[in-house]
Chains A and B, each alone.
Chain A
Amino acid sequence: MKLLKAPLFWLIVGVTAIFALLPLLSNNITLRETLVLSAIYIILAANLNLMIGYTGYVNFGSIVFFGLGGYLTLWLVGSHHWGLYSAVLVAGVSVSALAFLLGIGILRLRGAYFALATIGVNEAVKDFVSNFDVWGGSEGIFLPFTAYKAMGGAGKALWTVYLLIVLVMGSSLLLSLAVRRSKFGLGLFAIREDEDAAVVLGVKAPLYKTLAYSLSAFLPAIAGGLYFFKNGSVVPEEAFNLNLSIEAIVMVMLGGQGTVTGPTIGAFLYERLRGMLLTIPGLSNFHMVIAGVLLLLIILFAPGGLMGWLYRIWPRLRRVLE
């Protein structure tokens, strides 16, 4: 296991442990509620990075995986009385499989066309679910309270779900690291640099990028299931919120696309910034403006994001943080 020797591996394990233990040991629910959002953002950003950063395909509608995962989970738990664990696993696998099939189609498109298609897919799914009575249509799905009682009461269930979300976060980061160091990852990088050249060199581009797309759907779907279980309900506007999808891109760009550490830091910083702006009276409406200005500045002046900038002033960091 070469992975175990990477300093970043242990850093990821450490960060995950801090996320889990800090609120747990101090029994601080406010801290838990803050960190859960950071963790969700990190999951979304890290997995989106597999597409944007590694493969070079801009997925504008990545949130559709998160939303579908949430819907499948709550439907299985609420209407079919499944346990949470089996429900999120099935949700993860099915959404991933769906992404594979979808990917075969839309990954034939490149550049702006692909981006537009992913927006279209998200909107189509949102409008479809809004009309799909099995999933409650526009009203969404609300969990009966017995679902929490089955897990030892709401208080305990919320802690369990939190720890699971942190686990998914750790797994997302490790997945980013593992893919980056694998032959598969090298193939993806080749596609990003020049897809046609990669094909000539023998990279099975259609298969590789479809796999990456499918892989980037798995953990977000599970996270969606856990997150909406925690919320006790899922409604279409929340599950398929295009804005969150694009905010995830901002996080990836902020931290530095294509790196393992970058999207994590980007997501964490973005959540902190957003949380701060939302609670300052008079500024709560400006969080969008500031996020927009931030994004514009990164694109215009620092397209490599935070990590790109750090690597430039301190090249040795690259060996530790990847």
Chain B
Amino acid sequence: MKKLWITLLLAAVASFGLAQTVTIGLTVSKTGKYNVESVNQLNGIKLWQKWINDQGGIPVGDKKYKVELKFYDDESKAERVQQLYSRLISQDKVDFLISPYSSGLTAKAAVISEQYGKIMIATGAASDSIFKLGYENVYQIYTPASRYLTATLDMLKAADPNLKKIAIVYEDSKFAKAVATAAKDYAKKIGFDVALFEGYPPSTTDFGPIINKVKASGAEALVGGGHYADGATFARQLYEQQATLKMIALLVAPASDEFAQLGDAAFGVAAPSQWEPLVKYNPNCGVTPEEFVKMYEEAYGKTPAYRAAGGFAAGLVLQRAIMDAGSIDADKVRAALDKMDLTIFFGKIKFSTDPASHGLQLGHDMVQIQWQKKDGELMKEIVWPLDAKTSDLIYPIR
């Protein structure tokens, strides 16, 4: 009898008192090829959850919503993503969604979120095409693929106005192909000669044939790559095969700290990055970049890469939208996201409201990093834009 009373009391507290919760569902690639990036992203999301729950939850009116996360391992596989997002929506009854890592998986998850009319914050996904399908519930945090390498090419042009021939070699995945195609158009526009434009299958481990082609093309600089695993292998084999290139800029891989494991092969490799720990943004909401870095280092014992920052940012944007809406009602939150125009520690955030590209990120911009040596130790430095740089670009590298 006593037990029953306690149970009833607890239930009463849970339904009226402090313990309001908002549940956010997502999948994480705990295994498979996106393992490194995806777990980083999850770390950022978890850190946001802890940060907001330590403050009592998301303030909505006079109530506070504790954040609960519900996630499954998608094994980096597209078919798992759709099953699991359906499950999150129809069985676990989550209130909001955050995307998996990578454009390919996010595109699959977006279909489900749209079919069921659930709001999904897409982070770790830069592809533009997801936002060209007429979706109304998906919002992008990252700078989209169409603007991913444009600043890299600007930087190259500034470093060497006489350089003509470049090679664009990309992983044949949704994200990298979109980036490369946009980069090709931009490169031609600003006067480069694209001597080689070629994709390689995502499972590629032997880059020998590609490197031979790069050499044959006479290109003096190379931009491209895809995700972590292929990019790291590509950089290593470029070094082993002694490809003499004045600049190498790869997507994703060099922006990770793990890239330093390549040793000499990492030296000089540049990358566009969504965010770096040393960036100087003055946020008008949430944490500052320094605060985020400090919190992250305390929690995980290492410096956050941009995927982790993107994860935190996704949570922050959703939180801000709920606060603006004053409710967790989907229609109100959607309206708040549509109106959003913020600067957070991650940079500017503003979404397209044009029906032809609804949810596409318009505000956020890239920075460029390069692996340099300081006292014999490999260091990641910001080299572009010039007003944010921590070091000069090393050029040419070989």
Contact = CB atoms under 8 A, between A and B. Distances in A.
Interface residues on A, range: 20 to 34
Interface in A231-268: 231-233, 235, 237-238, 241
Contact of B115 (A37, A138, A148): A148
Q: How large is the interface on B (under 10, 10 to 19, 20 to 34, 35 or more residues)?
A: 20 to 34
DSSP majority for the B interface? Answer: helix
* Chain A interface mostly: helix
A33 B134 contact: no
B115 A232 contact: yes
A86 interface: no
A300 to B, nearest CB: 30
Given A139-B177, A235-B104, A29 B90 contact: yes
A144 B115 contact: no
Contact of A145 (B82, B108, B135): B135
A233 B107 contact: yes
Nearest to A237: B78
Given A233-B107, A233-B111, A144 B133 contact: yes
A284 interface: yes
B345 to A, nearest CB: 32
Interface in B41-79: 73, 78-79
A154 interface: yes
A37 to B, nearest CB: 8
Nearest to B202: A138
Interface in A9-58: 29-30, 33, 37
A146 B108 CA distance: 17
B320 interface: no
Contacts of A303: none
Contacts of B82: 231
A29 B115 CA distance: 12
Interface string A132-158: 000001110011111010000011001
A237 B202 CA distance: 11
B90 A138 contact: no
Contact of A154 (B87, B108, B115): B115
Given A130-B172, A130-B201, A138 B177 contact: yes
B173 interface: yes
A235 B127 CA distance: 16
Nearest to B127: A139
Contact of B133 (A142, A158, A241): A142
Contacts of A30: 87, 90-91
Contact of B114 (A145, A235, A237): A145
Q: Which of B111, B177, B201 has the most CB of A within 10 A?
A: B111
B173 A138 contact: yes
Interface-centre pick from A143, A241, A284 (highest chain B CB count, 10 A): A284
A269 B292 CA distance: 49
A139 B90 contact: no
Given A30-B91, A138-B201, A238-B78, A231 B111 contact: yes
Contacts of A148: 115
Contact of B111 (A29, A232, A284): A232
A148 to B, nearest CB: 7
Contact of B172 (A37, A137, A285): A137
Given A30-B87, A235-B104, 7 more contacts: A30-B91, A130-B201, A138-B199, A145-B134, A158-B115, A235-B78, A285-B31
8 contacts: A137-B177, A138-B177, A139-B177, A144-B134, A154-B116, A235-B104, A238-B79, A241-B79
Which are the 7 A-B pairs with shortest beta-carbon distances? Answer: A232-B111, A145-B134, A154-B115, A29-B90, A138-B172, A30-B91, A139-B174
